[in-house]
Amino acid sequence: MRTKQCGWPFLLIGVLLIIFTACSSINPANTLTRTHSSVKTSALTATVPPWENLYVLDGSGKGSNQQRIVAFHPGGPDATARVTLPAGLLSQDHKTIYSAAPRNEQTTITVTNTQTGSALRAFAIPGTYTTSGQSYTTATLSPNGRWLALRQAVGQTSNIALVDTQVGRLVKTIKLDKNFYLDALSPLGNQLYLLQYLAEQPGRYYVRLYDTRANKLNQQIIADKSEIEDPRMSGSALTRQIAKDGSAVYTLYIDRVHNVAFVHILPLIMEDHLLYPPYFARCVDLPVGRSGDLLPYYSLALSADGTALYAANGALGIAAKISLTALLFDDRITGSIHFDPGNVRATNNSAPPVYNGAALSPDQNTVYFVGTQGIWAANTNDISSSNARLTGHYLTQQPFTSVAVNTSGKMLYTTHPTGGITLYDIEAGDAQQLAQSPAHAPQGIEWVTGP
């Protein structure tokens, strides 16, 4: 049997194996309907709704003191910061942010209101923990924001602090005799998902489940149903989306060495019934190119109703739709587009990482995503049809790390750490770079507020 590099293993005997090949039903894209490539001098900021604010991740991302989130109104001549927030973990509704900062063998945890910037509560716990950086392996938050898990490495062992952010206290410290990393936390805080790396096979690991109420690491390994005979997986988490009800987490993994990309669909609420058997997950392979160098351009966008997940890579020329309404045993990409991304060179270590590189329009009819140059657009309804095509390629001479759609659906906001923030009028084809912005090195757009 083929060894699947990207499988998340669940040990479940007697289950029919279904192996999915992601590129089997890809149709070439038709000619683009419209292409714009230059930044024009205009006054787009004047058309930004007065209630609309951008929340932008600012900084190089190399340390907690170099990262922050700034909120500001991009319209008008005075684009000063209305709120400055610490970088941290966001609640699903974007109303609160959770940050952890270590000092003198203690860690201060702060819960901040994202609208006012005021601290709702702050408290200290023993140990050295942090929410700095974008890795999911050292800090994870339950979807409702109630439970926070923080990891501290102690030699070849791990200390994991489980924190109740609502009460403001350390619930327990989990001490594990092996070097485990965090993955996800269930809404009730009773199920903590961990990654156990295999020392004898660098880069490969198991997914494990720790019962925080029973204080027990379950012996069964969480496995991808199509690879239960080989419960290892490889790669690193690039980006993720979480179901609005907190029932599942969708993580995009890439392995540049083995040229593998996949979306792992992990139920966060383990129920002992047919549709969601315990210790079971889905893994959906994504199309790749000749090498793994362009895999970091993959991004995810989750539909508002939670029924579809879009995985797009403007450097590889891929936009794929994954159905989330199918039963657990039906792994398939319901539609995808292959297109020519142009003369794309391999990424290098100096290129800034993509951060929130895909976004859906308010009517859910268009998905926008970044590439090595410009912003691509695809019709979400066409992706599942035989006449799949792209609908646009904008600002084709510029690199971007992030894209967001404004609340009216008529304008795009884009960022680049050195190129700044650019506004783009989708219908008129006009673009404007913000001359002044409180985000000095905008890595990506966290979200856009509405009225």
DSSP 46-84: GGS-TT--EEEEES-SSSGGG-EEEEE--SSS---EEEE
Q: Return the structure tokens found at 245.
A: 């009800």
State the 10-residue block means of pLDDT for the chain, 451 residues long. Answer: 40 34 36 52 76 88 68 81 91 94 94 96 95 82 94 86 96 91 93 86 81 92 67 82 90 91 85 55 88 94 95 95 74 84 72 93 96 94 79 94 95 95 94 89 92 67
Report how far residue 58's alpha carbon sits from residue 54's, in angstroms, rounded to the nearest whole number.
12
Q: Report the CATH superfamily, name and number, of domain 27-448.
A: YVTN repeat-like/Quinoprotein amine dehydrogenase (2.130.10.10)
DSSP state, residue 374? S
Sequence letter at residue 331: D
Q: Rounded to an integer, what distance in angstroms lies between the CA atom of residue 166 and that of residue 209?
A: 24
Distance, C-alpha 365 to centroid of its chain: 21
Whole-model pTM: value is 0.87
Amino acid identity for residue 251 in this structure: T
Neighbour-count burial of 213, counting CB atoms closer than 10 A to its CB (0-12 exposed, 13-18 middle, 19+ buried): exposed
Q: How far apart are CA 436 and CA 167, in angstroms?
A: 40
What is the distance of C-alpha 9 from the center of its chain? 21
Say what the pLDDT of residue 204 is.
77
**Alpha-helical regions (H) of 336-430:** 380-383
Kindly state the tokens that stand for 310: 């879009």
DSSP-derived secondary structure letter, 194: E
- What pLDDT, on a 0 to 100 scale, did the predictor assign at position 10? 38
Find, among 311, 330, 331, the residue nearest to 321 by Cα: 311
Smallest CA-to-CA distance from 196 within 182, 206, 211, 204 is with 206
Yes or no: say if 201 and 181 are a contact pair by the CB < 8 Å rule.
no
Query: Any idea what DSSP says for residue 256?
Result: T
The pLDDT of residue 46: 74
CA 111, CA 105: separation in Å to the nearest integer? Answer: 20
In the sheet that holds 333-338, the strands lie side by side as: 27-28, 333-338, 318-323, 308-313, 298-302
- Retrieve residue 48's tokens: 């930004």
